[in-house]
């Protein structure tokens, strides 16, 4: 399954709100670039709301804008989820970092810190929680290797574009899960993509064609999007919209 990351940042309480907003936009895009899903919260109550209704794989908490009893906030989060918590702080002293870790955070990063380092620490926490996708997916005659960036069908390597590979891997690592066109766009084109949703359809059509007989396993879910179903009935048809 795709990791679900809850990113929490309160821009209203930070010294430079515009810089904080730019950082949020940039980091959320980096999270999407990893193929993960994102929930974006700006208050403690929103964090609790998401945790009550969603299965979250990781929490990234920018502590700069949050006020109040930190210990109580972590306690409440721990009551709602066992997902690892990564905290980013402006604090420069060891005491604050130790307090954050003692209160329940799994990892803590001090600013200045690059998005690359944040993502690397996030991956480490997800690996420990066993929430990252497999580097290779195999469905009988179909092999999809993330490490090699290769797709083989019946032992023959397929000539897919980078976007087609990205779509196929996204579908295949979420088998039987209906993915909306918006979800697919966010993953493959970025959450700030301003084009048409039907862009997805043209790429899926090309991908199905290159997959030949295996293309039927990318099934259209009417009025929603697509899902990858390997164990189809013998005479199952693929619906196109």
DSSP per position, 160-214? --HHHHHHHHHHHTSTT--EEHHHHHHHHT-TT--S-TTHHHHHHHHHHHHHGGG
Do 89 and 118 contact (CB within 8 A), yes or no? Answer: no
Q: Residue 64's pLDDT band (boundaries 50, 70, 90)?
A: low
Both structure tokens of 116 = 């690359």
Domain 4-128, architecture per CATH = 3-Layer(aba) Sandwich (3.40)
Region 96-121 average pLDDT: 92
Both structure tokens of 157 = 């390597």
First-to-final CA distance of the chain: 26
Q: Whole-number mean pLDDT of the chain?
A: 85
Nearest to 66 by CA among 12, 104, 106: 12
Output the pLDDT for position 142: 96
Angle between helices 70-80 and 44-53 (to 10 degrees): 10
Q: Which residue has the higher pLDDT, 139 or 65?
A: 139
Class of domain 136-228: mainly alpha
Tens digits of per-residue pLDDT, 191-225?
A: 667 778 889 999 999 999 999 999 999 999 998 99
Map residue 236 onto helix, strand or coil: coil
Do 52 and 25 contact (CB within 8 A), yes or no? Answer: no
For 47, the enclosing helix (H) or strand (E) is helix 44-53
Residue ranges per structural domain of the chain:
4-128, 136-228
Output the pLDDT for position 18: 74
pLDDT beyond 50 at 241 = no
Cβ neighbors of 116 (< 8 A, separation 6 or more) are: none
Q: Please check whether the two domains, 4-128 and 136-228, share a CATH topology.
A: no
Enter the pTM of the model: 0.58
For 102, the enclosing helix (H) or strand (E) is helix 94-102
Nearest to 188 by CA among 205, 165, 166, 157: 166
Do 80 and 49 contact (CB within 8 A), yes or no? Answer: no
Nearest to 36 by CA among 241, 239, 173, 195: 173
Output the pLDDT for position 233: 61
**Bridge partners (DSSP) listed for residue 153:** 142, 156
Q: How far apart are CA 228 and CA 179, in angstroms?
A: 9
Tens digits of per-residue pLDDT, 14-33?
A: 566 677 778 888 999 999 88
């Amino acid at each position: 399954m795709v990791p679900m990351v809850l990113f929490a940042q309160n821009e209203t309480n930070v010294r430079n709100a515009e810089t904080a907003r730019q950082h949020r936009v940039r980091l959320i895009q980096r999270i999407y670039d990893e193929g993960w899903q994102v929930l974006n919260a700006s208050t403690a109550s929103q964090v609790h709301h998401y945790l009550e209704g969603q299965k979250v794989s990781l929490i990234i908490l920018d502590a700069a804008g949050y006020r109040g009893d930190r210990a109580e906030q972590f306690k409440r989060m721990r009551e709602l989820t066992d997902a690892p918590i990564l905290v980013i702080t402006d604090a420069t002293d060891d005491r604050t970092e130790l307090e954050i870790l003692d209160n329940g955070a799994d990892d803590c990063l001090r600013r200045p810190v690059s998005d690359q380092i944040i993502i690397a620490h996030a991956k480490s926490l997800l690996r420990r929680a066993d929430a990252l996708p497999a580097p290779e997916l195999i469905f009988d005659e179909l092999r999809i290797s993330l490490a090699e960036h290769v797709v083989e069908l019946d032992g023959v390597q397929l000539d897919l574009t980078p976007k087609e590979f990205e779509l196929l891997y996204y579908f295949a690592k979420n088998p039987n899960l209906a993915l909306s066109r918006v979800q697919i766009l966010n993953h493959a084109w970025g959450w700030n993509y301003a084009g048409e949703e039907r862009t997805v359809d043209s790429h899926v059509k090309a991908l199905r064609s290159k997959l030949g007989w295996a293309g039927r396993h990318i099934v259209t879910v009417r009025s929603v999007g697509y899902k990858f179903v390997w164990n189809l009935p013998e005479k199952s048809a693929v619906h196109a919209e």
